[in-house]
Amino acid sequence: MSIAVFLDRDGTLNEDPGYIGDPSKVVLFDDVPPALAILQNKFHFKLIVVSNQAGISRGIITEEEVISVNSRINDLLLPYHVQIDKFFYCPSHPEFSSPEDCLCRKPSPKMVLDAAWEFSIDLSKSYLIGDSKTDIECAMNAGVKSILVKTGYGNDHLSLLFQEKKIPNFVAENFREAVDFLIHDFNGDI
């Protein structure tokens, strides 16, 4: 079985200007490409993005734009010899979509579970890195370890998580610190 690192996209891997649809505006955080390369090339983790993209149902961005932005992320990762194995995204939002269409929306674990089935992933040994309360809740719902990064919404959502006693396995200042924790945890050094 494979082991995966599930990744939120906006605010975790790249700057989040809000409903990004223009691939030329994708800016990865500086520490993301080398850290992803370590995870994939040294530790052979599957790298799976799980992202809510409600801008599609809101009519702000198109599905084609989301796919183009995802492709741009992989283009930016090429010089580091790393690629996201697959991008899963949920286009729905409760205000604009049916309850059935929203079943994929984090904090639901559906995207993680779909990826686990497709890639034969051992969830008990896998991780999710994200910047929001829904990311951490998704990780808990899927049975994977959770890491909150303080980039994006991370700082704002940290107190909400603690108020609700939904404590991530680790809180990181940035993506590199998240990956350092993950590697030490995976190796049993913690």
Return the CATH number at 28: 3.40.50.1000
pLDDT of residue 6: 98
pLDDT tens figures, 70-123: 999 999 999 999 999 999 999 988 787 787 887 999 999 999 999 999 999 999
What separation in angstroms does the CA of 29 have from each of 77, 99, 168, 171? Answer: 11, 34, 21, 17
Q: 3: which strand partners? A: none
Instruction: Tell me which DSSP letter residue 55 carries.
Output: H
190 pLDDT tier (thresholds 50, 70, 90): low
How many structural domains comprise the chain? 1
Catalytic residue annotation: 8, 10
- Expressed as residue numbers, the domain containing 17 is 4-186
- Alpha-carbon gap, residue 138 to 121, rounded angstroms: 16
pLDDT tens figures, 7-63: 999 999 999 999 999 999 999 999 999 999 999 999 999 999 999 999 999 999 999
